[in-house]
Amino acid sequence: MNTIFYKLGGAITILFLVVLLPLGFVMLEIFNNYNHTHLKEETEEMASQYAIMLSAADRLDVDLLVDSMSTETVREIIVFDQTETIIESSGMESFSPRKKSSGTEEIGSYIDPKTNQHYFYAGKPVLDNAIASIYVFSPSNMMSSSAVRVQNALWLSGLGSLLLALGFTFIFSKKLTNPLQMMEKTAKKLARGDLNTKVPVTTRDELGSLARSMNELARELKRYRDNRREFFSNVSHEFRTPLSYIQGYSHALKNGLQQNEDQRQQFIHIIHDEANRMNRLIEDLFELSRMEEERFPLELELVHLGHIAQKAVEKVRPSAGDKEITLVTEIEEDIPDIVGDSFRLEQIFMNLLQNAVRYTEHGCVRVKVLAEDGKVIGTVSDTGLGIASEEIPHIFERFYRIEKSRARDFGGTGLGLAIVKQLTELQYGTIDVESCDGKGTTFTLCFPEAREGDE
Amino acid sequence: MKRVEWVIASIFIALGLHCLVMAGTLLPGTVGDPAYFSLLLRVCFWMGIPILGGFVIYMIIMSIKKRKGKVL
C-alpha cells in the first residue's frame, strides 16, 4: 500500500470526496428545506379549504371528513368547538390549541406524546356557531412520491459521480505513476549491477527528462565500468611482461647462469631497460589519470606553435638520423600565437614525431605548421607502416597497439596517443588522423588563434 | 497500463455513467430506452467537454512552445 500510486490515487479520491460530500449535503439540505416549506404551505392550504367546507356543512359531514382523513392519508385532523372542546378527532386527542382566543389562525409544530411523531399543524377558524376551528396535522417527514424520487435521484447521481471520479482517478494515477515505478525498478536493477537496463522514454516533460538522464547515467556507468575493467586488464598485462623479464634475468644473474661477462652486461642492460620502461609506464599512467580527472595543471600563455614544432623536430633529429629518415619542416613564419602550455605542446609534437620515426623504416617525416580560417594547424606526417582503417577509431585509446605482436619491438608504453589527445583537448584543440595502410599516416592538430585579451 | 487495469477503470466509469443516467431517468415522464440513451449521450458530452478542453489547451501550449523552440 505504501506506493506512490495509492498515495496519489488516495489523495485525488479524498479531494473528490472533499468536494462531493459537502455539495451533496448542501443539495439535500436545500431539498429538505424546500420540502418542508412546501409541506407547511400545503397543510395551511388544506386547513383553509376544510374550514370553508365545514362552515357550510352539518355535523354528519364533519364525521365523514375526519374518518376519510384518518383512513386515507397520514394526516390528522381535529375539530374544536367554541369552548375548545374536541368535537371530532382522527386520533390526536392530546393536542390543545396554544391561543385561547378562538377564531384566529395558528401554525406551528407539535410532537405527539403517544408516538413521538413530529407534526406541522395549521389551525383555521370556521365561520360556524357550533365549530370554532379546525386543525390539520402533517407529519414532518412526510414527502410526496415525487419528492422521494427526487431525493433518490440525488443520492444516485452522487454515487454515479463518485464512481466516475474513481474510474478517472484510477487511470490518471496509473498514467502518472507508471513511469516513476518503472524508473524505480530500473534504478534497483542499476544498483544490482545490471547496467544494460533502460527506462522507456514516453513523455517530453520532467519525467521524460528524468528517464533520459537515467538512461544516460546507465550508459556512462557501463562505459566507466568497461573502461575500468579494460584498464586493469591492460595495466596488469603491461606490467607483467617487463616484470617477467626482470624476474627471469635477475634470477639468471643471481644463480650465475651467464656464460661470460658480455652476457652478464647484456642481462643487466635488459633489466635496466625494462625497469625504465616500467617507470615510464607509471609516469604516463599517472599523467593520463590526472588529465582525465581534469586535475592537470597547465601554464597557459601565448605561444608560437611553429617555434615549438621546430624545437621538437631538433630533439628528434638524432634518432631520425639513425634510421636514414629525412625530417622535413614547413613552418610558416607569420602564423598567429595560440593559447597553450609550451612544454605540453612540445610533448605533443615529441610524441607524434617519436611515433612517426618509430614506425617509419625509410622515407621522410614531414612537419607543417600553418594558419587557416582563424586556426593554427600543425601536421605530422610520415611514410611509415600506416594504420588500417578499422584500427583508426581506437588508436587514441589507452594501451591500444596497432601491431600487437610487434608492439614491444617498437617500444613505447601504448599510452602516447591517449596522452596526446588529452593534452590537445585540454588546450582547446582537436586532433585528427588520416592514414593509408602501408603508405603513411598524417596527424593534424588544430588550435584556435589567440584573441585580443587572451594574454 | 495493463489490460486488467483498463477493465477495472472502465467498470468504474461505466457504473458511474449508469448511475448518473438512471438518476436522470428516475422521475416519471423520462422512462424508456430512447430517454436513457439520449441522456447517456448528453452526460458523455458534458463529461467530454473538460477532457476536450484540456486537450485543446495542451495542444495550444505545445504548439507555442514548438514555435519558440523550447521543445527538447
Q: Please state which CATH number belongs to domain A301-448.
A: 3.30.565.10
List Cα–Cα distances, A180 to A5, A163, A183, in angstroms: 9, 26, 5
CA–CA gap between residue A273 and residue A242 (Å, rounded): 9
| Mean pLDDT computed over A447-453 | 83
The overall average pLDDT reported for chain A is 84
Q: Residue B45: its chain A contacts at CB < 8 A?
A: none
Chain B residue with minimal CA distance to A175?
B1
What count of residues does chain A have?
455
Residue A163, chain B, CB below 8 Å: the answer is yes
Q: For chain A, what percent of residues have pLDDT higher than 70?
A: 93
* Per-residue pLDDT tens over the stretch A241-293: 788 889 999 998 888 887 888 888 988 998 998 898 888 888 888 887 777 77
Q: Residue A153: its chain B contacts at CB < 8 A?
A: 23-24, 26-27
Residue A406 pLDDT exceeds 70:
no
Give the strand pairing for A106-111 and A118-125: antiparallel
Q: Where in chain A is the domain with CATH 3.30.565.10?
A: 301-448
CB A257 within 8 A of CB A248: no
Q: Which three cell numbers stand for residue A142?
A: 412526510
Q: Please state which CATH number belongs to domain A4-146.
A: 3.30.450.20
Looking at residue A78, its pLDDT comes to 87
Helix, strand, coil share (%) of chain A residues, nearest 5 = 55, 15, 30
> Among candidates A328, A365, A351, which has minimal Cα distance to A411?
A351
Residue B60, chain A, CB below 8 Å: the answer is no
| Minimum mean pLDDT range among A80-84, A131-135, A372-376, A408-412 | A408-412
State the residue for C-alpha cell 430506452: B33
Closest Cα in chain B, distance from residue A154 (Å): 7
Residue A102 pLDDT exceeds 60:
no
Residue A348 CB-density burial (10 A; 0-12 exposed, 13-18 middle, 19+ buried): buried
> Among candidates B42, B41, B39, which has minimal Cα distance to B24?
B39
Predicted confidence band of residue A117 (pLDDT cuts 50, 70, 90): confident
| Mean pLDDT computed over A110-123 | 86
Q: How far apart are the first and last CA of chain A?
A: 64
* Per-residue pLDDT tens over the stretch A202-213: 777 888 888 899
Predicted confidence band of residue A377 (pLDDT cuts 50, 70, 90): very high
Q: Which CATH number fits domain A206-292: 1.10.1240.10, 1.10.1070.20, 1.10.287.130, 1.10.10.10?
A: 1.10.287.130
Residues 169-188 of A with CB under 8 A from B: 170-171, 174-175, 178
Residue A407 pLDDT exceeds 50:
yes
CB neighbours of A346 closer than 8 A, spacing ≥ 6?
Answer: A308, A311, A312
Are A166 and B19 a contacting pair at CB < 8 A? Answer: no
CA–CA gap between residue A122 and residue A41 (Å, rounded): 9
ipTM of this model?
Answer: 0.84
Looking at residue B32, its pLDDT comes to 63
Are B27 and A149 a contacting pair at CB < 8 A? Answer: yes
CA–CA gap between residue B36 and residue B17 (Å, rounded): 11
User: What does the domain layout of chain B look like in residue ranges?
Assistant: 3-68
Bridge partner list, A442: A381, A434
* Per-residue pLDDT tens over the stretch B18-61: 999 988 887 766 556 677 888 889 989 998 899 899 999 989 99
Q: Residue A159: its chain B contacts at CB < 8 A?
A: 19
**Interface test with chain A among B12, B59, B63, by most A beta carbons within 10 Å:** B12
